[in-house]
C-alpha cells in the first residue's frame, strides 16, 4: 500500500483531525476537504488521482457517494461512525487470518474487536491468508458463522465484502489447521 493510501486510511478510519477533517455520523467526509487535507500532508492529488487511488485499492477500502462529493472508508474505523450496515445471514464458514503469536489469546478470549468497531472476517481462505501474511506466516482460523448467527450473533457485510461481527467466542473457531508447532 502506498504512503498516500496509508494516510487516507488513517484520516478516514482513525484520525480525521490529522488532516483537519470531521467525519459525519456515517463516516463521510467532503472530497474537497480530503483533497486539501492530503495536500497539507504532502500528498497532492487531483480528484482524478483520488478516483484512481480508490479504484486501485485491492481491498476496496474506500467508497465515494453516488455524486462523488463525499468519501468514506468501508470499515475498520476506530472512530465513532455508523456505517448503516444491516444484519445479514452469513455463510456457514468465514475465515480469519492471524499469526502464531496471537493464538494463545484467541484460544482463551476468541476474536475480539480491540479498538475497531468489529472483528473482520474473510469470505475465503485466500483473503484470510493475505490478511495474516501482513504480520508474518499466516494461520487461517475457520469460524462457524452460521452457528454463531443461529445463537444470536449479528453479522454485517461491508461494501467491499468484509464480514463483520462484534466478537467470535472460541467455541465457534476451528483451530485444527494451526499446526502442531503452533499449539499453545
Domain parsing of the chain, residue ranges:
3-73, 93-182
Q: What is the pTM of this model?
A: 0.71
Q: Using one digit for the tens of pLDDT, what is the confidence trace for 163-180?
A: 999 999 999 999 886 653
pLDDT per residue over 97-138, tens digit each?
Answer: 999 999 999 999 999 988 777 899 999 999 898 888 888 899
Q: Which CATH architecture does the domain made up of 93-182 adopt?
A: Alpha-Beta Barrel (3.20)
Measure Cα distances from 10 to 41, 72, 100, 171, 184 in Å.
Answer: 12, 11, 27, 33, 34
| Sheet containing 93-98, strands listed edge to edge, beginning at the edge strand earlier in sequence | 93-98, 139-144, 173-174
CATH for 3-73? Answer: 1.10.10.970
Packed helices 31-40 and 47-56: angle between N→C axes, nearest 10 degrees? 90
Amino acid at each position: 500500500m502506498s504512503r498516500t493510501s496509508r494516510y487516507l486510511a488513517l484520516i478516514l478510519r482513525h484520525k480525521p483531525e490529522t488532516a483537519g477533517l470531521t467525519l459525519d455520523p456515517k463516516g463521510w467526509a467532503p472530497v474537497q476537504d480530503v483533497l486539501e487535507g492530503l495536500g497539507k500532508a504532502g500528498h497532492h492529488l487531483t480528484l482524478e488521482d483520488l478516483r484512481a487511488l480508490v479504484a486501485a485499492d485491492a481491498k476496496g477500502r474506500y467508497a465515494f457517494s453516488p455524486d462523488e462529493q463525499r468519501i468514506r472508508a468501508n470499515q475498520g474505523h476506530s472512530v465513532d461512525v455508523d456505517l448503516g450496515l444491516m444484519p445479514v445471514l452469513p455463510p456457514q464458514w468465514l475465515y480469519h487470518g492471524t499469526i502464531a503469536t496471537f493464538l494463545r489469546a484467541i484460544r482463551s478470549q476468541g476474536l475480539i474487536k480491540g479498538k475497531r468497531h468489529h472483528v473482520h472476517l474473510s469470505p475465503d481462505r485466500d483473503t484470510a491468508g493475505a490478511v495474516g501474511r501482513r504480520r508474518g506466516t499466516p494461520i487461517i482460523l475457520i469460524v462457524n458463522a452460521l452457528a454463531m448467527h443461529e445463537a444470536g450473533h449479528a453479522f454485517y457485510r461491508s461494501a467491499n465484502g468484509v464480514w463483520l461481527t462484534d466478537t467470535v467466542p472460541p467455541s465457534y473457531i476451528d483451530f485444527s489447521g494451526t499446526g502442531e508447532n503452533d499449539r499453545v
